[in-house]
Amino acid sequence: MSEKLSRLKEILGEVSDLNHAASVLGWDQQVNMPPMGAEARGQQLATLGKIAQEKFTDDEVGRLLEDLQKEYSDVETDDGAMIRVTARNYDKAKRVPASFVAEQAVVGAKAFEAWVEAKSKSDFSIFLPHLEKNVELVKKYISFFPPADHPYDILLDDYEPGMKTSDVKEIFGNLRPKQVELLKKIANAKQVKDKFLSKKYNEEKVWAFSEKIISKFGYDFNRGRQDKAPHPFETSFSVNDVRITNRYEVNSPLATLFSAMHECGHALYEMGVNPAYERTSLAHGTSLAIHESQSRMWENLVGRSLPFWEHFYPELKKTFASQLDGVSVKNFYKAINKVEPSFIRVNADEATYNMHIMLRLEIEIGMADGSIRIKDLPEIWNTKMKEYLGITPANDAQGVLQDVHWSSGLIGYFSTYALGNIVSAQLWEKINKDIYNLDEQIRKGKFEQLREWLREKIHVYGHKYDPQDIVQKITGSKIDSTAYVRYLTKKYSEIYDL
């Protein structure tokens, strides 16, 4: 290894340590921190972020990268890929002044507070000036970069390197009419019964069951843990310390099982990254969409499938005998896949979920290019909800104010959720070609071959390949919704007898 490369890795190692330390502090904040600890914690996180940024944007890094890009120009090699990804991150980081990052953090913190109040009072006007300020800052952020085909490209690229607004529009454009058509058919079919899902289930037993499932998936409790937090999430401090959080909701007690599978999907990705990438820019999953393809696959394509429950249902039924009395595995399977247009994205079923995302994407694009006035958002939201899902929110809390993302200036993020769904089905078709009896394996509670396939084709590469490239490499085509449409149509035709 050249001296310059080893120096670069030394710096990146320290930056990675600082970022991972910040992740530990963030995890602790959600899981353990006593309420009064928040102020100091915010300060500590700000300092870690500032120092990491300073170290990463040091001119020395720029000089090293310039030299190393010539020396390691083959981006198919690990070092070449690492240098390519680092140089891209460096370029981005250098364009954005530290003072802007600090301003965005301050504005975002205030906007978050306003959002909490606005949501609790269901009053968009409280949030409006803060969202306007956030959008202003997002536009300023865009201005730091060379003009793109569409201003939203700049935002999207932070989450899906290499993807364009036009790509996403095209993917969603193909999907929407087919998904709308499917939803119409389902609306006219006989609804499935799911009352037993909202009975009272013992929290500890649900929790234990969730850990039994993810252990079978291959989540390694020697390298991770599941804790209670207000929101489920996955976070990693190294390839050998990948944690997930979960919650228990009285109104939807078995949701804990699906959240565990979802976060486990993220965790398996992080646990599977090549350990040689530790403390470099390749050490984590490559994009939010590819990450989401993993979590959604384990949650939905595996965890909401009939073969899966043919394996687990007998034990579930034994554990919750009175709640599931008289419920067959088929009816349980139908219930957990019930389709019903609803207001809240995070509670949406597979058939309606993407509609929530498309609505948000259109609004975000409009915010980024100025074609939407922020004060019109509630009206636009409600109109689109009516158009896409046939329902109108009774108030802003269950409409435009429901998600936290925009309050902290996160614009450009939402489409990754839908892209993840789409990619999960593309991968699934390929996997089922490679593993001919996958359904049968799942029916026996065997997940090794699936997990190893994912590890070998995706996880191990970490950040080496961009999202479109890895999908292309595996499936032979770029991100495309046809597999997802096939998947949804087949699944719901059976469930709803269409």
Residue numbers at the binding site for a copy of itself (CB under 8 A)? 13-14, 17-18, 20-22, 24-25, 28, 32-37, 39-41, 43-44, 46-48, 50-51, 220-225, 227, 237-241, 243, 278-279
Nearer to a copy of itself, 27 or 388 (CB): 27
Could you give the strand order of the β-sheet that contains 234-238, starting from the edge strand earlier in sequence? Answer: 226-228, 241-246, 234-238
Q: Tokens 């104010």 — which residue? A: 401
Nearer to a copy of itself, 48 or 155 (CB): 48
Cα torsion 226, 231, 241, 42: sign:
negative
Question: SS3 for 96?
Answer: coil
Cα(136)–Cα(127) distance, integer angstroms: 14
Cα(209)–Cα(225) distance, integer angstroms: 14
Angle among Cα 54, 60, 66 to the nearest 5 degrees reads 120
Cβ at position 262, least distance to a copy of itself in Å: 20
Cβ at position 239, least distance to a copy of itself in Å: 8
Beta carbons within 8 Å of 349's beta carbon, 6+ residues apart: 337, 338, 339, 340
Cβ at position 37, least distance to a copy of itself in Å: 3
Cβ at position 44, least distance to a copy of itself in Å: 4
Give which of 360, 368, 363, 362 is closest to 141, Cα–Cα: 368
Nearer to a copy of itself, 46 or 101 (CB): 46
Give which of 214, 308, 294 is closest to 261, Cα–Cα: 214
Angle, helices 255-271/448-457, rounded to nearest 10 degrees: 50
Asked if 431 and 437 count as a contact pair (C-beta separation under 8 A), the reply is no
Nearer to a copy of itself, 34 or 146 (CB): 34
Helices (H), 397-447: 415-434, 438-443
Nearer to a copy of itself, 33 or 435 (CB): 33
Nearer to a copy of itself, 127 or 237 (CB): 237
The CA-to-CA distance between both ends of the chain, in Å, stands at: 61
Cα(395)–Cα(327) distance, integer angstroms: 36
Number of other CB atoms surrounding residue 251 within 10 Å:
8
Cα(110)–Cα(418) distance, integer angstroms: 29
Cβ at position 42, least distance to a copy of itself in Å: 10
Cβ at position 7, least distance to a copy of itself in Å: 15
Nearer to a copy of itself, 14 or 67 (CB): 14
Q: Is 3 a catalytic residue?
A: no
Asked if 263 and 238 count as a contact pair (C-beta separation under 8 A), the reply is no
Cβ at position 278, least distance to a copy of itself in Å: 7
Give which of 28, 57, 58, 32 is closest to 44, Cα–Cα: 28
Q: How many residues are listed for the chain in this entry?
A: 498
Active-site annotation holder among 160, 234, 263, 299: 263
Catalytic residues: 263
